[in-house]
Amino acid sequence: MSSRGLIALMGRPLPISFFDRDTRIVARELLGCIIVRDEVQVRVVETEAYFPGDSANHAFKGKTPRNAPMWGPPGCLYVYLCYGIHTLLNLVTEASGRPAAVLIRAGEVVAGHDAVSRRRGGRLDLIGPGKVGQALAMDTGWSGRPIGDGLSVVRGPAPAAIRAAPRVGIDAADPADVAALWRYISQD
DNA sequence: GCCAGGATCGTCT
DNA sequence: GACGATCCTGGCG
Protein backbone atom coordinates (compact mmCIF):
# COMPACT_ATOMS: atom_id res chain seq x y z
CA MET A 1 0.00 0.00 0.00
CA SER A 2 1.23 3.53 -0.70
CA SER A 3 2.08 5.83 2.20
CA ARG A 4 -0.73 8.08 1.04
CA GLY A 5 -3.10 5.15 1.31
CA LEU A 6 -1.90 4.35 4.82
CA ILE A 7 -2.43 7.92 5.92
CA ALA A 8 -5.92 7.87 4.52
CA LEU A 9 -6.69 4.80 6.62
CA MET A 10 -5.20 6.24 9.80
CA GLY A 11 -7.70 6.55 12.61
CA ARG A 12 -10.20 4.23 10.97
CA PRO A 13 -11.34 0.99 12.61
CA LEU A 14 -9.52 -2.05 11.36
CA PRO A 15 -11.77 -4.15 9.11
CA ILE A 16 -12.40 -7.81 9.92
CA SER A 17 -10.30 -8.70 6.89
CA PHE A 18 -7.29 -7.22 8.69
CA PHE A 19 -7.47 -10.10 11.19
CA ASP A 20 -8.28 -12.78 8.64
CA ARG A 21 -4.62 -13.31 7.73
CA ASP A 22 -1.52 -15.08 8.98
CA THR A 23 -1.27 -14.30 12.71
CA ARG A 24 2.37 -13.24 12.50
CA ILE A 25 1.54 -10.62 9.88
CA VAL A 26 -1.36 -9.34 11.95
CA ALA A 27 0.84 -9.22 15.06
CA ARG A 28 3.39 -7.04 13.26
CA GLU A 29 0.83 -4.74 11.70
CA LEU A 30 -0.99 -4.23 14.98
CA LEU A 31 2.05 -2.33 16.27
CA GLY A 32 1.16 1.35 16.30
CA CYS A 33 -2.57 0.71 16.19
CA ILE A 34 -4.77 2.25 18.88
CA ILE A 35 -7.07 0.23 21.15
CA VAL A 36 -10.05 2.35 22.14
CA ARG A 37 -12.20 1.59 25.18
CA ASP A 38 -14.41 4.48 26.27
CA GLU A 39 -12.14 7.43 26.97
CA VAL A 40 -9.02 5.30 27.19
CA GLN A 41 -6.80 4.89 24.15
CA VAL A 42 -3.74 2.66 24.15
CA ARG A 43 -1.17 2.46 21.38
CA VAL A 44 0.08 -1.09 20.82
CA VAL A 45 3.86 -1.37 21.13
CA GLU A 46 4.41 -5.09 21.69
CA THR A 47 2.57 -8.21 20.54
CA GLU A 48 2.98 -11.97 20.44
CA ALA A 49 1.58 -14.37 17.84
CA TYR A 50 -0.06 -17.68 18.76
CA PHE A 51 -1.34 -19.72 15.85
CA PRO A 52 -2.37 -23.24 14.79
CA GLY A 53 0.29 -25.90 15.31
CA ASP A 54 2.17 -23.73 17.80
CA SER A 55 2.83 -25.73 20.97
CA ALA A 56 2.74 -22.58 23.13
CA ASN A 57 -0.78 -21.80 21.97
CA HIS A 58 -3.50 -22.31 24.60
CA ALA A 59 -5.48 -24.04 21.88
CA PHE A 60 -2.72 -26.52 21.04
CA LYS A 61 -4.18 -29.30 23.18
CA GLY A 62 -7.69 -28.84 21.92
CA LYS A 63 -10.81 -26.79 22.33
CA THR A 64 -12.07 -25.97 25.83
CA PRO A 65 -14.72 -23.51 27.01
CA ARG A 66 -11.99 -21.05 27.90
CA ASN A 67 -10.13 -21.02 24.59
CA ALA A 68 -13.16 -21.51 22.35
CA PRO A 69 -13.07 -17.91 21.08
CA MET A 70 -9.73 -18.66 19.42
CA TRP A 71 -11.56 -20.99 17.05
CA GLY A 72 -14.15 -18.37 16.31
CA PRO A 73 -14.24 -15.76 13.59
CA PRO A 74 -11.36 -13.28 13.27
CA GLY A 75 -11.74 -9.88 14.83
CA CYS A 76 -13.04 -11.08 18.19
CA LEU A 77 -11.53 -10.79 21.66
CA TYR A 78 -10.02 -13.62 23.63
CA VAL A 79 -9.60 -12.59 27.26
CA TYR A 80 -8.44 -14.95 29.95
CA LEU A 81 -7.26 -14.87 33.53
CA CYS A 82 -3.59 -15.56 34.16
CA TYR A 83 -2.22 -16.55 37.58
CA GLY A 84 -5.63 -15.85 39.01
CA ILE A 85 -4.96 -12.12 38.93
CA HIS A 86 -4.24 -10.74 35.50
CA THR A 87 -6.55 -10.46 32.53
CA LEU A 88 -4.71 -10.82 29.24
CA LEU A 89 -6.15 -9.36 26.06
CA ASN A 90 -5.84 -11.20 22.76
CA LEU A 91 -7.27 -10.42 19.32
CA VAL A 92 -8.47 -13.47 17.41
CA THR A 93 -6.99 -13.93 13.96
CA GLU A 94 -7.27 -16.26 10.94
CA ALA A 95 -10.36 -17.94 9.61
CA SER A 96 -12.93 -19.70 11.79
CA GLY A 97 -11.75 -23.18 12.71
CA ARG A 98 -8.11 -22.09 12.88
CA PRO A 99 -7.30 -21.30 16.53
CA ALA A 100 -5.06 -18.25 16.56
CA ALA A 101 -4.69 -14.91 18.31
CA VAL A 102 -2.38 -12.01 18.98
CA LEU A 103 -1.54 -11.23 22.60
CA ILE A 104 -1.21 -7.52 23.37
CA ARG A 105 1.91 -7.48 25.52
CA ALA A 106 2.51 -3.77 25.98
CA GLY A 107 1.14 -0.37 25.10
CA GLU A 108 1.36 3.37 25.64
CA VAL A 109 -1.49 5.44 26.99
CA VAL A 110 -2.39 8.10 24.42
CA ALA A 111 -5.70 9.21 25.95
CA GLY A 112 -7.62 8.66 29.17
CA HIS A 113 -4.59 9.02 31.42
CA ASP A 114 -6.77 9.77 34.43
CA ALA A 115 -8.81 6.59 34.08
CA VAL A 116 -5.70 4.47 33.57
CA SER A 117 -4.01 6.10 36.53
CA ARG A 118 -7.02 5.27 38.73
CA ARG A 119 -7.07 1.65 37.60
CA ARG A 120 -3.30 1.27 37.85
CA GLY A 121 -2.75 2.89 41.23
CA GLY A 122 -1.13 5.99 39.79
CA ARG A 123 1.00 4.21 37.24
CA LEU A 124 0.82 4.77 33.51
CA ASP A 125 3.42 2.31 32.22
CA LEU A 126 1.85 -0.55 30.29
CA ILE A 127 4.83 -2.83 29.79
CA GLY A 128 3.35 -6.28 30.38
CA PRO A 129 0.11 -7.86 29.21
CA GLY A 130 -1.52 -7.84 32.64
CA LYS A 131 -1.07 -4.08 32.82
CA VAL A 132 -2.67 -3.60 29.41
CA GLY A 133 -5.67 -5.62 30.52
CA GLN A 134 -5.94 -3.59 33.70
CA ALA A 135 -5.65 -0.25 31.89
CA LEU A 136 -8.48 -1.27 29.55
CA ALA A 137 -10.53 -2.72 32.43
CA MET A 138 -10.79 -6.10 30.75
CA ASP A 139 -12.32 -9.13 32.40
CA THR A 140 -13.14 -12.58 31.11
CA GLY A 141 -16.68 -11.48 30.31
CA TRP A 142 -15.22 -9.76 27.26
CA SER A 143 -13.91 -13.00 25.85
CA GLY A 144 -15.61 -13.92 22.58
CA ARG A 145 -17.07 -10.47 21.95
CA PRO A 146 -16.46 -8.96 18.53
CA ILE A 147 -14.20 -5.96 18.17
CA GLY A 148 -16.31 -2.83 17.85
CA ASP A 149 -18.66 -3.86 20.65
CA GLY A 150 -17.35 -1.65 23.44
CA LEU A 151 -13.73 -1.97 22.42
CA SER A 152 -12.35 -1.06 19.03
CA VAL A 153 -9.00 -0.98 17.30
CA VAL A 154 -8.10 1.78 14.90
CA ARG A 155 -5.15 2.24 12.62
CA GLY A 156 -2.36 4.39 13.98
CA PRO A 157 1.12 5.41 12.89
CA ALA A 158 3.30 2.43 12.07
CA PRO A 159 6.50 2.18 14.11
CA ALA A 160 9.78 3.28 12.52
CA ALA A 161 11.08 -0.27 12.88
CA ILE A 162 10.03 -3.61 14.35
CA ARG A 163 12.19 -5.94 16.38
CA ALA A 164 11.37 -9.65 16.61
CA ALA A 165 12.22 -11.68 19.72
CA PRO A 166 11.31 -14.95 21.45
CA ARG A 167 8.05 -14.95 23.34
CA VAL A 168 7.95 -14.49 27.09
CA GLY A 169 6.87 -16.83 29.84
CA ILE A 170 5.97 -19.81 27.71
CA ASP A 171 6.89 -23.39 28.48
CA ALA A 172 6.11 -25.10 25.23
CA ALA A 173 6.75 -28.77 24.63
CA ASP A 174 8.62 -27.92 21.44
CA PRO A 175 11.86 -25.96 22.04
CA ALA A 176 11.67 -24.64 18.49
CA ASP A 177 8.43 -22.89 19.36
CA VAL A 178 9.99 -21.42 22.50
CA ALA A 179 12.92 -20.03 20.52
CA ALA A 180 10.88 -18.77 17.59
CA LEU A 181 10.85 -15.01 17.06
CA TRP A 182 7.11 -14.51 17.31
CA ARG A 183 7.16 -11.51 19.62
CA TYR A 184 7.17 -8.14 17.93
CA ILE A 185 8.34 -4.92 19.52
CA SER A 186 7.90 -1.40 18.23
CA GLN A 187 11.17 0.50 17.76
CA ASP A 188 10.50 4.22 17.60
C1' DG B 1 19.61 -2.27 40.81
C1' DC B 2 18.61 -7.13 41.29
C1' DC B 3 16.27 -11.15 42.80
C1' DA B 4 13.14 -14.15 45.37
C1' DG B 5 8.73 -14.95 46.78
C1' DG B 6 3.88 -14.23 47.41
C1' DA B 7 -0.61 -13.02 45.57
C1' DT B 8 -4.94 -15.42 43.88
C1' DC B 9 -8.44 -18.23 41.13
C1' DG B 10 -10.37 -20.23 36.91
C1' DT B 11 -9.38 -24.07 34.23
C1' DC B 12 -8.20 -28.58 33.22
C1' DT B 13 -6.44 -33.33 34.70
C1' DG C 1 -5.34 -30.65 43.28
C1' DA C 2 -1.79 -28.45 40.43
C1' DC C 3 -0.60 -24.83 37.66
C1' DG C 4 -0.35 -20.69 34.58
C1' DA C 5 1.26 -16.27 27.74
C1' DT C 6 2.17 -12.10 35.41
C1' DC C 7 2.98 -8.22 38.62
C1' DC C 8 4.42 -6.10 42.75
C1' DT C 9 6.86 -5.71 46.99
C1' DG C 10 10.46 -6.10 50.12
C1' DG C 11 15.05 -7.44 51.33
C1' DC C 12 19.63 -7.15 50.25
C1' DG C 13 23.95 -5.19 48.48
pLDDT tens for A4-19 read 555 556 779 999 999 9
Over range A61-68, report the average pLDDT: 96
**Residue A84 Cβ under 7 A from any strand B atom:** yes
Q: What is the pLDDT of residue A173?
A: 78
Say whether pTM exceeds 0.75. Answer: yes
> Distance, angstroms, CA A2 to C1' B9?
48
What string of DSSP letters covers A56-103? TSGGGG---TTTHHHHS-SSBEEEEEETTTEEEEEEE-SSTTS--EEE
Please tell me what DSSP assigns to residue A36.
E
Predicted pLDDT at A171: 79
Q: Distance in angstroms, CA of A150 to C1' of C11?
A: 43
- Cα A32 to Cα A113: distance, rounded to the nearest angstrom: 18
List the A3 CA – C6 C1' distance (angstroms). 38
Give the least confident one: A31-35, A70-74, A174-178. Answer: A174-178
User: Cβ within 7 Å of strand B: which of A 36-75?
Assistant: 61-62, 64-67
